[in-house]
Amino acid sequence: MSIQQSDVLYTAVATAENGRDGRVATDDGKLDVVVNPPKEMGGSGAGTNPEQLFAAAYSACFQGALGVVARQENADVSGSTVTAEVGVGKNDEGFGIIVKISATIPNVAAATARKLVEKAHQVCPYSKATRGNITVELAV
């Protein structure tokens, strides 16, 4: 389900220079980083890369969704962590990504943790945006 422009609460703006081997900055100056391809892809690896930035954003968003779901379920997710692993590789269309989301939720039983992660995957905006486009594996 899409949102309308009138429903937008916040818009992030970032500009890239020189693609994967340059610089990315937000309009408010809060993020300004050098990006370089990783050594595994023939680059210098000196800066961050789009996959690391996506992993950081997805893990933060997913952690937020986990908190929303936990409040609805009266579950204690304090001390939890969410890690996103973003892989990039060749596919039939050139290149693609694959994601693994791993959550550690110490204060709930394993079955409950799994249920919370699956529900978070249904409400997380990044999960919704990527659903049907890339493989996303969930792990608890």
Confidence band (pLDDT; 50, 70, 90) for 17? very high
The answer to whether residue 130 scores a pLDDT higher than 90 is yes
Residues 70 and 52: their CA atoms lie apart, in Å, by 27
Q: Across residues 95-105, what is the average pLDDT?
A: 97
CA–CA dist 45, 48 (Å, integer)? 7
Q: Where are the domains of the chain?
A: 1-48, 49-138
Percent over 70 (pLDDT), the chain: 99
For the record, the structure tokens of 92 come out as 């039939």
Q: What's the fold here for domain 49-138?
A: GMP Synthetase; Chain A, domain 3 (3.30.300)
Q: Which residues contact 48 (CB under 8 A, 6 or more apart)?
A: 33, 34, 35, 36
pLDDT tens string 32-62: 999 999 999 999 999 999 999 999 999 999 9
**DSSP state letter for 114:** H
Q: Which residue has the tokens 């936990």?
A: 70
pLDDT at 29: 97
Decide yes or no: CATH 3.40.50.2000 for domain 1-48. no
pLDDT at 1: 65
Domains 1-48 and 49-138 share a fold: no
